[in-house]
Amino acid sequence: MRRAIFPGSFDPLTMGHLDIIERSVSLFDEIIIAVLNNPDKNPMFTPDERCEMIQEILPSVKKSECCLLVESFAGLTVDFAKQRNCSAIVRGIRAVSDYEYELRMALMNRRLEPQIETVFLMAAEEYSYVSSNLMKQIFTLGGRVEGLVPELVEAKMREKLGLGVRF
C-alpha cells in the first residue's frame, strides 16, 4: 500500500494544487490532502471551510484507483504523516524560487523522520505562476481568476468578500 500526504495551506485550493493531485494519483494508492491549521498566517478560510471545499471539488479529479482523503492537521507534517502511516510527502515545485525553501524543508523532514521520502512534482506550465496568495490578492482587488481556481473556490471567495453571486 503506497500512502502519501500532500500537505499545504490550500487557502484556497487552486488549479495548481489540483494539477499536482492529478499527477499524484497514478503514483500512490492513497493520498491524504492534509490541510494545515495555521491561524498565524491569517487565512481567508478556516481549516474546516478549506476541507469542505476540497471534498466537494475532488470528484472532478480524473478517475483512478487511488483513494483521496482530506484531513486537517496542526503541528509537524512528519508527525502527521507517521501517525497516518504515510511513506511519502508530495510537494509541488513551480520555479527555482520554490526549490530553495522546499529543499530545506525536505532535508529537515528527512532528518526528523528518515523513513519518509519527499516527492517533488513539477507544476504544469500554465499554472506555474499561480499561488493561493496571488489569487486572493488579485480577486480582492477585483481581478479575474477564472480558470486558475475551481469555480466553487471563486464562488466561496465572492461569498467571503460579500460580493454576491455573479451571473
Residue 166 bears catalytic tag: no
Compute the distance between CA of residue 158 and CA of residue 139 in angstroms, rounded to an integer: 8
Compute the distance between CA of residue 15 and CA of residue 103 in angstroms, rounded to an integer: 23
Contact 87, 117 (CB under 8 A): yes
Contacting ligand ADP (CB under 6 A), which of 3, 4, 5, 10? 10
Grid cell 482530506 is found at 70
Which residue's CB comes closest to ligand ADP? Answer: 16
Compute the distance between CA of residue 34 and CA of residue 44 in angstroms, rounded to an integer: 17
Contacting ligand ADP (CB under 6 A), which of 43, 47, 92, 150? 92
Q: How many CB atoms lie within 10 A of CB 125?
A: 8
Of 3, 50, 91, 94, which is the active-site residue? Answer: 94
Contacting ligand ADP (CB under 6 A), which of 132, 135, 153, 156? 132
Q: Report the interface residues with ligand ADP, using CB under 6 A.
A: 8-10, 14, 16-17, 19-20, 91-92, 94, 98, 123, 127, 130-132
Please give the positions annotated as active site.
Answer: 17, 41, 94, 132
